[in-house]
Structure 1
């Protein structure tokens, strides 16, 4: 089936175009998915009438280029969030009660799946499946922590996955065992916990496809018009192609293929061979790798050990192999994103990036998260060409008194080096923002509010973390629009200009001028992708 973009005219708008042209423009005409005219209401209405295009008066609403989430996992989220949301449950008692209620609801034989599990409930016991097992007697329970780096399983789930003890993995993943060598249920990093989740019953193909379609529609409802999928698989690409063929794809996407540490040279060649596969609204040609884990479990790679003595191991047993893989994808013309939470991980990734030869006409690579940075790391970013892809809204798990796991592991002093978005920007690096959904909320209004206020949105009295790192309203918007487009080499995205793609977000109030605390409540009245209205309030 041949697909073309939609036709649409918007008048009566206040435009934030991210350009210096058409300062007095109030209207936009899109034909076949591309912006054809930016001008006055009269000019656009006349042109729309000539072509028989629907004209909508947005009555003074603010129109921005479509919002782009630079780090998201919608395919994974469609599966993960089908389970029980455990967010906010801070004690074993609360968790057991929630699991027992879900157990009573589920049919016999079904697995009990849960997500958004927080570490704090297990602060004094460690993550142990036996603490939860009798909330659902005999039923396999498979839970995943909010950061997607740790899983927790009960004995029936471990048995279904054939897990009886520790194993060696190609990466830093781990099946945690007790002194007797018996699995505790804690499974660190995806290679370990996917043994359990892969053993769980799978949805039918149509169910999985429709869940992904509906996920994109949820994202559109908060103004998102696209994103970078950071856990791409062959199945992800097939589903996107099928959705587009059915006319049911409502998002503009770049798929980063997830490279596992154990992938061979043949795997690399296979991915490179498929790098040019694309549709109208989606493209491949990008890679996601890990250099470390997360601070909360001691698997982030840090300049100095954390308070528990952890944090000095890379995700790769051979860092030289990481460099070889990056070079192969770089030489193939692919865009690389590397997960690096710890400060030393950021520095080592930048070392590898600096060794790469120049590629004329192609964008440079990104580092994802950069949760903590030393002053030297910030300076290393300066002039590196690397994009810093960050998520300030992850600060929502920090406590004002430093009692959270993240802060305690980093220790006093170093926890103030977190989420240095202002310093990164001032160093001249390209900054882009995202959610890491389903790790954190996908709503970009919340992401912008955290980047600007650095405290819980809607609570002006809440503790402000490192106030000197706050972004302005304009910078936060640019980090969701123009800057991601530039980072990916797209001259026709992130702007409202003739020839640009017809991706727009229509706001009930100006997101730049609105106070950060009020931003999450600003209505999204329209979301437009490729000239088609995909969400209308």
Structure 2
């Protein structure tokens, strides 16, 4: 089926165009999915009448280029969030009560799935499935921690997956066992925990497709018009293609294929051969790799060991192999994003990127997260051309007294080197923001509020983490609009200008001038993708 963009005229608006040019324009005309005219209300109303295009008077609402989440997992989230949300449950007793209630509700043969599990409940015991088994006797229970780096399974779930002891993996994944070699239920990193989740009943094709469609509609309701999918696989691309064919795709997407450490040269060649696969609203040609894990489990790669003596190992057994893989994808003209949470991981990835040959006319690569950075790492970013893709809203799990696992691992002094978005910008690096959904809330209003205020939005008494790192209102907006477009080499996105794609977010007030604490409650009036209204508040 042939698809073309929509036609729409918006008048009576305040425009934040991101063009850097002063203008008294208050209206926009979109034809076939692209902005054809920006001008006064009268000019746009006349043009719309000429082409019989519907006109919407926004009554002074603010229009910005469409918001883009630079790091998200909507396909994964559609599956993961179908289970029990365990967020905010901080004790074993609270977890057991929630699991018992879900156990009583579920059919006898169903698995009990849960997500958003926090580490704090297991601070003194370690992650152990037996602590939760009696809450759902005989039923397979498979849970995933909020950061998507650790899973927890009870004995029935381990048995269903055929897990009876430790295994060797190509990457740093681990089946944790006790002194007797018996699995505790803790499964570190995706290669390990996916053994359990892959053994659980899977949704039908139609359910998976519709779940992804509905996920995009949830994202549109908070003003998002697109995002970078950071866990892409063949099934993801197939579903996007099918949704677009059905006229049910409401998001503009770049799919980063997830490269696993164990992938062979043949796997790399296959991915490269598919790099030009695309549709009207989606494209591939991008890669996601890991260099380390996360601070909370001691798997981040750090310049100095953490307080538990961890943090000195890469995700790859052979760092040389990482470099070879990056070079292959780079030479094929693909865009590479590398997960690097720890400061040493960031430095080592920058070393590999710096050795790559120039590619005229193509954007350069990104590093994802950069949770902690030494001064030397910030300087290494300067002039590198690397995009820093960061998520300041992940500070929501920090405690003002440094009692959280993240701060305990790093120590009080090093925890102050976290989420250095201001220093990254001042070093001349391009900054883009995202959520890492379902790790954190997908709402970009929350993400922008954290980037600007660095404290719990709306709580005047909340601790402000490293206030010198706060962004301005304009910078936060640019990091969700123009800068992601530039990072991906798109001259027709992230701006309100003639010829740009018709992706717009319409706000109830000006998101730049509004106080950061008020952002999460600001109404989203319209979300427009490709000239089509996909959400109306």
Equivalent residue for 1:141?
141
Question: Does 2:143 align with 1:118?
Answer: no
Q: After superposition, what is the alpha-carbon deviation per residue over 1:8-32, rounded to whole angstroms, capped at 9, x for unaligned?
A: 0000000000013361000000000
Moved over 3 A (4+): none
Q: After superposition, what is the alpha-carbon deviation per residue over 1:27-85, rounded to whole angstroms, capped at 9, x for unaligned?
A: 00000000000000000000000000000000000000000000000000000000000
| Structure 1 counterpart SS, 2:419 | coil
CA shift at 1:417, angstroms?
A: 0.1
Q: What is the TM-score normalised by the length of structure 2? A: 1.00
Equivalent residue for 2:249?
249
CA distance in 2, matches of 1:341, 1:442: 20
| Structure 2 counterpart SS, 1:527 | strand
After the TM superposition, which residues 468-487 of structure 1 pair with which residues of structure 2 at under 5 Å, given as runs? 468-487=468-487
Q: CA RMSD in A?
A: 0.4
CA shift at 1:460, angstroms?
A: 1.6
Equivalent residue for 2:192?
192
Q: After superposition, what is the alpha-carbon deviation per residue over 1:65-106, rounded to whole angstroms, capped at 9, x for unaligned?
A: 000000000000000000000000000000000000000000
CA shift at 1:464, angstroms?
A: 0.2
After the TM superposition, which residues 79-90 of structure 1 pair with which residues of structure 2 at under 5 Å, given as runs? 79-90=79-90
CA distance in 2, matches of 1:412, 1:129: 31
Equivalent residue for 1:402?
402
CA distance in 2, matches of 1:21, 1:457: 32
Equivalent residue for 1:447?
447
Question: Does 2:526 align with 1:523?
Answer: no
Equivalent residue for 1:233?
233
CA distance in 1, matches of 2:433, 2:53: 34
Equivalent residue for 1:432?
432
CA distance in 1, matches of 2:181, 2:119: 23
| Structure 2 counterpart SS, 1:166 | coil
CA distance in 2, matches of 1:51, 1:205: 41
Equivalent residue for 1:96?
96
Count of residues in correspondence between the two structures: 537
CA distance in 1, matches of 2:23, 2:66: 19
CA distance in 1, matches of 2:304, 2:132: 35
| Structure 2 counterpart SS, 1:483 | helix
Question: Does 2:512 align with 1:512?
Answer: yes
Q: After superposition, what is the alpha-carbon deviation per residue over 1:378-419, rounded to whole angstroms, capped at 9, x for unaligned?
A: 000000000000000000000000000000000120000000
CA distance in 2, matches of 1:274, 1:465: 43
| Structure 2 counterpart SS, 1:102 | helix
CA shift at 1:332, angstroms?
A: 0.0
CA shift at 1:319, angstroms?
A: 0.1
Structure 1: state its 5+ residue gaps: none
Equivalent residue for 2:377?
377
| Structure 2 counterpart SS, 1:506 | strand
Equivalent residue for 1:172?
172
| Structure 1 counterpart SS, 2:9 | strand
Q: After superposition, what is the alpha-carbon deviation per residue over 1:97-124, rounded to whole angstroms, capped at 9, x for unaligned?
A: 0000000000011000000000000000
CA distance in 2, matches of 1:209, 1:460: 42
CA distance in 1, matches of 2:16, 2:456: 26
| Structure 1 counterpart SS, 2:422 | helix
CA distance in 2, matches of 1:399, 1:514: 26
| Structure 2 counterpart SS, 1:219 | helix
Equivalent residue for 2:268?
268
Structure 2: state its 5+ residue gaps: none
Equivalent residue for 2:109?
109
Counterpart contact for 1:22–1:38, Cα < 8 Å: no
CA distance in 2, matches of 1:84, 1:24: 50
CA distance in 1, matches of 2:270, 2:220: 33
Equivalent residue for 2:331?
331
CA shift at 1:146, angstroms?
A: 0.1
Counterpart contact for 1:161–1:196, Cα < 8 Å: yes
| Structure 1 counterpart SS, 2:516 | coil
Question: Does 2:21 align with 1:60?
Answer: no
Q: After superposition, what is the alpha-carbon deviation per residue over 1:265-295, rounded to whole angstroms, capped at 9, x for unaligned?
A: 0000000000000000000000000000000
CA distance in 2, matches of 1:178, 1:381: 42
CA distance in 1, matches of 2:140, 2:475: 46
Equivalent residue for 1:460?
460
CA distance in 2, matches of 1:226, 1:325: 28
Equivalent residue for 1:290?
290
| Structure 1 counterpart SS, 2:412 | coil
Equivalent residue for 1:183?
183
CA distance in 2, matches of 1:23, 1:325: 47
After the TM superposition, which residues 411-430 of structure 1 pair with which residues of structure 2 at under 5 Å, given as runs? 411-430=411-430
